[in-house]
Structure 1
Amino acid sequence: MRLSVRPEDPGFCKFALNGKVTVYLDGKRLNYCITADDEEGTALVCATDKNGRLIIEYDGIRQEVLTGRVEFVWGA
C-alpha cells in the first residue's frame, strides 16, 4: 500500500493528513514523512540534521528517500 499527504500523489490519504497514520521504517518511527510505500519499501521524508531540525535549502526543505521495511500503524 502507498500512502501520501500530497493530493496529487496516487497514494493520497486524507487520514494521513490528520496524523491518524504513523509510519515506521525498520521499526523506527518516521517524522516528517511525505509518502511511504510498504510494498516498495520506500519512504520520502523531509531531511533533518543531527539535532532533528529540518534542513532548509534555497528552494525549500530538503527531501530524501529512505529504504527498508515500511509499516503503517493506524490510529497511533
Structure 2
Amino acid sequence: MRITVLDDDLGKKINPTVERYKVFLNGEEVKHCFTADDEKGQVICGVFIDGRIVLQCGEVKRQTLQGTVRIERCE
C-alpha cells in the first residue's frame, strides 16, 4: 500500500484531519511523513536539524529513506 498527503503523488491520498496513520521504518516510528510505501520499502519525510524543519526554496526539504516499512491505521 502507498499512502500520501502530496497532491502530485500516485499513492492513496489521505486527509490527515480525517484519517491518521503511523509509519514505521525498520521498526522505528517515522514522524512528519509525506509518503509511505510498504511494497517499495520507501518513506518520504521532512528533514529536521536540531528539532527545526529545514526549508529549501520555500518548501519543506524532503528525504527518501529505504528499509522495511509498516503502515498502521490509527483508530
Both proteins in one fold, TM over 0.5: yes
> Higher helix share goes to which structure?
1
TM superposition outliers: structure 1 runs of 4+ over 3 Å: none
Q: How many residues align?
A: 74
Note if contact 1:6-1:12 (Cα within 8 Å) is conserved in structure 2: no
1:41 aligns with 2:41: yes
Q: Which runs of 5+ in 2 are unaligned?
A: none
- Aligned position for 2:67: 68
Percent identical across equivalent pairs? 27
Alignment of 1:1-40 (within 5 A): 1-15=1-15, 17-18=16-17, 20-40=20-40
Structure 1 unaligned segments of length 5 or more: list them: none
- What TM-score does the superposition give when structure 1 sets the normalisation length? 0.82
Q: TM-score when scaled to structure 2?
A: 0.83
Deviation at 1:7, TM superposition (A): 3.0
In structure 2, distance between residues paired with 1:7 and 1:61:
15
The structure where strand makes up a greater share of residues is 2
Residue in 2 that maps onto 1:59: 58
- RMSD of aligned Cα (Å): 1.7
Give the CA deviation at 1:13.
3.0
One-letter code of the match for 2:58? D
